[in-house]
Amino acid sequence: MRIGRAPWLVIPILALLQILWFAPAVHAHGGIESGQNVFAAWNWNPLPTVLVLLAAYLYINGLNNWPRPSHHISRWQKASFFTGLFLIFIALQSPLDNLSEHMLSFHQLQHFLLRMLAPLLILLGAPLTPMLRGLPPWALRGIVRPTVRNPWARALYEKLINPVVSVFIFMGVLYLWQLPGGFNLAIRNEFVHALMHATMMSSGFIFYWAVIDPKPRRSRIHYGIRVLYLGLIVLPNTILGAVITFSKSIVYSEYEKVRQPFDVSLLTDQQLGGLLLWVPGDMMSILVAGIVMVMWYEREEAAHREKQTA
């Protein structure tokens, strides 16, 4: 269904975001601690849902405002984008968010969705052009264009997409928050917990931005380097996951102070959490390397066909 062109709707949405940002997260957490059914303990802080809906609105509005597209956005790309947004919603608003404060295994699953799976799916949805076209004219003229033309912003962008820098950010943020001090603090403090999620998700977008480049963007990094780039994260991810999995003592002491919603020992839960960090993380690297190799093959085939027709 086509959505009407009403970019002025973004203004009240942004105003609402400001209100929600400073509003207390009433009834956001604590349901499991008080004995509520674990599958009914949703996070009722509306900010993540509003941000997800805003991203969806910009994407759809941009497609509507693009009558003669320079490149086709396929159905599978649209499905990928909205699946990524849905996973962010599940990670931050569903009972998974509350369970993450009581069990390490659910916390690692939440991080996997926010850090690895959702950013990949969203970028596979080729969001750059639709979301830019979905912005109101004042935002394009007053924010996007000056930022793109700013030499400091361009220099920062070039640094962030450098493979060495993006790998360092991706794995550095993971190690920072997996240290017991930061992890325990995030469980105790809502603001730190939100900061953990924001930085993990941002690092995922930065990492995959240099790997996934649907039109119109084309990364300057060769496909072979991208495969190597994905392999660089396997070893540190494996080491961290193995350390947590095979630890004989409780690494994150805050979990000893909260109610356990299921009949699972803390050590068993910790082992499951380590495995969820270790195995799916390594498998994602292999899967994305396969996607990059397919992209590489298709690019070479297209170049070969152009030579034959020239």
* Per-residue burial over 59-69, b = 16 or more CB atoms within 10 Å of its CB, e = otherwise: bbbbbeebeee
Q: Decide if pLDDT at 245 tops 70.
A: yes
Percentage of the chain modeled with pLDDT above 70: 87
- The larger pLDDT score, comparing residue 41 to residue 155, is at 155
Residue the block writes with tokens 């997260």: 25
Q: Residue 171: which pLDDT band, with cuts at 50, 70 and 90?
A: very high
d(CA 293, CA 217) in angstroms, rounded, equals 18
Q: Decide if pLDDT at 33 tops 80.
A: no
Please indicate, yes or no, if residue 267 is contained in any of the structural domains. Answer: yes
Assign 128 to helix, strand or coil: helix
The mean pLDDT value of the chain amounts to 86
Q: Decide if pLDDT at 115 tops 70.
A: yes
Q: Residue 199: which pLDDT band, with cuts at 50, 70 and 90?
A: very high
Q: Which domain covers residue 44, as residue numbers? A: 7-309
- The larger pLDDT score, comparing residue 25 to residue 63, is at 63
d(CA 199, CA 219) in angstroms, rounded, equals 23
Please indicate, yes or no, if residue 169 is contained in any of the structural domains. Answer: yes
Nearest to 177 by CA among 162, 160, 194: 194
- Give the mean pLDDT of 1-10: 41
Q: Decide if pLDDT at 6 tops 50.
A: no
- Give the mean pLDDT of 133-160: 93
Residue 31's pLDDT is what? Answer: 53
Is the distance from CB of 255 to CB of 103 less than 8 angstroms? yes
Please indicate, yes or no, if residue 116 is contained in any of the structural domains. Answer: yes
Q: Helices 163-178 & 190-209, crossing angle to 10 degrees? A: 160
CA max distance for the chain: 71
Residue 223's pLDDT is what? Answer: 86
Q: Decide if pLDDT at 9 tops 60.
A: no
Q: Decide if pLDDT at 90 tops 50.
A: yes
Q: Decide if pLDDT at 118 tops 90.
A: yes
Please indicate, yes or no, if residue 212 is contained in any of the structural domains. Answer: yes
Q: Residue 295: which pLDDT band, with cuts at 50, 70 and 90?
A: confident
Please indicate, yes or no, if residue 1 is contained in any of the structural domains. Answer: no
Q: Decide if pLDDT at 105 tops 90.
A: yes
CB-based burial of residue 298 (10 Å sphere; 0-12 exposed, 13-18 middle, 19+ buried)?
Answer: exposed
Helix then strand count (H, E) for the chain reads 16, 0
Residue the block writes with tokens 């690297």: 285
Please indicate, yes or no, if residue 100 is contained in any of the structural domains. Answer: yes
* Whole-structure pTM value: 0.86
Q: Decide if pLDDT at 99 tops 60.
A: yes
Residue 35's pLDDT is what? Answer: 60
State yes or no: cis peptide before 137, omega within 30 of 0: no
Percentage of the chain modeled with pLDDT above 90: 63
Please indicate, yes or no, if residue 2 is contained in any of the structural domains. Answer: no
Q: Give the number of domains in the chain.
A: 1
- The type of residue at 239 is I
Residue 19's pLDDT is what? Answer: 44
Count the neighbouring beta carbons within 10 Å of the beta carbon of residue 219.
Answer: 15
Residue 274's pLDDT is what? Answer: 97
Q: Decide if pLDDT at 76 tops 50.
A: yes
Q: Decide if pLDDT at 14 tops 90.
A: no
The two structure tokens encoding residue 239: 């080491």
Summarize pLDDT for 44-56 with one digit per residue, the tens.
889 999 999 999 9
Summarize pLDDT for 258-274 with one digit per residue, the tens.
988 898 999 999 999 99
Q: Decide if pLDDT at 25 tops 60.
A: no
CA dihedral 79, 130, 17, 50 (to 10 degrees): -10
Residue 36's pLDDT is what? Answer: 65
Please indicate, yes or no, if residue 170 is contained in any of the structural domains. Answer: yes
d(CA 243, CA 246) in angstroms, rounded, equals 6
User: Alpha carbon of 158 to those of 81, 173, 182, 184, 206: distances in Å?
Assistant: 25, 19, 29, 34, 11
d(CA 161, CA 145) in angstroms, rounded, equals 20
Q: Decide if pLDDT at 229 tops 90.
A: no
Query: Among 12-16, 158-162, 184-188, which stretch is predicted with the lowest mean pLDDT?
Result: 12-16
Residue 272's pLDDT is what? Answer: 97
